[in-house]
Amino acid sequence: MQAYRIETKLTKQGTITLRHLPFEAGETVEIIILTRTPETKLPERYPLRGTTIQYLEPTEPVALDEWEILQ
């Protein structure tokens, strides 16, 4: 079973219209409706976007003392 997420709002008449679904005509699907409250947010897709990254000694080898061959 595959899941597809579509977020939409109810019309004034209390109906929902779903368009461009990735299913074949005649295919049986299950529909589950969940309400979205302000506290219920999707996790941020790229949480580190815009943060500053600093590399300390970027060209130095990493963990040289952990190589068995060098011991």
* 13-22 per-residue burial string, b: 16 or more CB within 10 A, e: under 16: eeeeeeeeee
Picking from 66, 62, 3, the residue whose alpha carbon sits closest to that of residue 31 is: 3
pLDDT the model gives residue 59: 87
What's the pLDDT tens digit per position in 27-49? Answer: 999 988 888 777 666 777 888 88
How many domains does the chain divide into? 1
Q: Between 18 and 39, where is the model more confident?
A: 18
Domain range for 11 is 1-37
Q: Between 41 and 52, where is the model more confident?
A: 52
Q: Say yes or no to pLDDT of 60 above 80.
A: yes
Rounded Cα gap, residues 31 and 44, in angstroms: 25
Classify residue 8: in a domain, yes or no: yes
Classify residue 57: in a domain, yes or no: no
Classify residue 26: in a domain, yes or no: yes
Classify residue 58: in a domain, yes or no: no
For the whole model, what pTM was predicted? Answer: 0.41
Rounded Cα gap, residues 14 and 8, in angstroms: 12
Rounded Cα gap, residues 71 and 56, in angstroms: 25
